[in-house]
Structure 1
């Protein structure tokens, strides 16, 4: 029985200076970290702190010129505007640690059965450009690293962020052992969808019942079809009915039920699960913390309980 969930966190995740009007909720990572410790959903002795990812690992998935230009601050204004951040050394530091954090989370999941990363899910990052607050694709990098370690043969990226994982879709096409599945709002960003291995397009206003029925059907099907050795789960909470950038009608209870479903199915099939918190946007920091904490509540209720 796993007594406490191993998790990954770095202080740089919330050390990004942005204008007060910026939509990216940079404070939410530190807020979630503090809330999780206070509520004893996570414990400091089971925290793992990532180092910065190496350029060599980034080169393995992304265009080396793009990698260099981002790190050196020489990407043109148009490319940075598409990413959605002003360039800064703090952004570089945050990015390199966050990307390696998901890779570390996957390693921990393979060792302990489950692990959580208190950021991650940068699924709009493509081979040679970033988009939608995503610079490098941590999901693909973590999956590829796990396969190259020799510990797994096939990885399923199960993406439940409200926005389609278009970067993951395009990058995964080059890796037959990485299976991409995106469950997203058909009418939301990005306007031009890419082709994942499996796309589930749900309409605006999707309710708890409809959403959870799709989760319950698709994940066991994908496991039977692909027999993955690791699941990387993007537990985005921008599916919430009051999310600033989401168009679904999912409640806090719906988020908890989704996370419990995903964790239960992975546990039942004895497949290690590496979870990243994904997207979530709200002017209310407290509400956002509660939404993201559902993943940690679910992990404690499901994975930490006796089989």
Structure 2
């Protein structure tokens, strides 16, 4: 069964006019239920993550500043969110959602988190709508509990996974692969194990060719036994923050390439959603929904 992390806490209200689309965390499950792609039994509600697993990735001083709401104005500005206790609680629930989804992926081959993909969170700071890094926390949990020994992070958000790259820069058991807009945020890129910087307006065909070639190469040389897929849909041509040129169908084919490779090679995969900032919310929901539809079609 496809297991999907979702919580009403994911939909923390933001000030009117904020550019981060919290609405998608309610609308996406509603769409999947309405069309019959999933049923209520597919969803599980994550609780709060034990702090020891946060501290396995993030510095204690940084976590303390989050919990006591003592980030500086500059630090708050870099996260892009107005700081609140509810926001920190939301983030910790998201971390648990990805961790539990990773365990379900070991059981069922694939599992998803409606949120997550918070790849701009570093060991000691947050950036770009990311406070804690669910990708890194999940990977470190699997490694430390000897549930995995070689993890491949496939980050296909339009923005480089700079926080994830920093966290795993000296860890040979995690291969970080980021395919992102070369001219997009963050302007200072960290060094992933493999970075593919893409030109503005790249189309479906060129994008998918690059993805196939590089992803197959990585699997051949690294031999991962677990994959974490950051499936941001800000690669769409319609995205306000993206600058790439993918169609909704191209984004769907992207997801299918990743999941088919994982399934063919018997590599469990956890998918977290990442960004999406198209002007029309329907484009965001449709592109995200395709990720879940493909998972159901391929695995169940």
| TM-score interval, smaller chain | over 0.9
Other-structure match for 2:98: 102
Other-structure match for 1:147: 143
Q: SS of the counterpart of 1:116?
A: strand
TM-score, structure 1 normalization: 0.95
Question: 1:211: Cα distance to partner?
Answer: 0.6
Other-structure match for 2:4: 7
Measured in 1, the distance between the counterparts of 2:112 and 2:147 equals 19
Other-structure match for 1:227: 223
Other-structure match for 1:161: 157
1:56 aligns with 2:52: yes
Task: Provide runs of 4+ in structure 1 moved above 3 Å.
Answer: none
Measured in 2, the distance between the counterparts of 1:149 and 1:201 equals 34
Aligned ranges 1:1-307 → 2 under 5 Å:
4-14=1-11, 16-304=12-300
Does the CA contact (< 8 Å) of 2:239 and 2:279 recur in 1? Answer: no
Question: 1:265: Cα distance to partner?
Answer: 0.8
Measured in 2, the distance between the counterparts of 1:48 and 1:230 equals 21
Deviations 1:52-105 (A, max 9, x none): 112211111111111011111111111011111111122011101001111111
Does the CA contact (< 8 Å) of 1:25 and 1:282 recur in 2? Answer: no
Question: 1:175: Cα distance to partner?
Answer: 2.1
Question: 1:40: Cα distance to partner?
Answer: 1.6
Measured in 1, the distance between the counterparts of 2:50 and 2:240 equals 34
Q: SS of the counterpart of 2:139?
A: helix
Q: SS of the counterpart of 1:192?
A: coil
Q: SS of the counterpart of 1:38?
A: helix
Moved more, 167-176 or 263-272: 167-176
Name stretches of at least 5 consecutive residues in structure 2 with no aligned partner: none
Aligned residue pairs, count: 300
Name stretches of at least 5 consecutive residues in structure 1 with no aligned partner: none
Question: 1:46: Cα distance to partner?
Answer: 2.0
Deviations 1:139-188 (A, max 9, x none): 01101111122121111000000000000111011322111010000000
Coordinate RMSD, CA, aligned: 1.0
Measured in 2, the distance between the counterparts of 1:164 and 1:193 equals 7
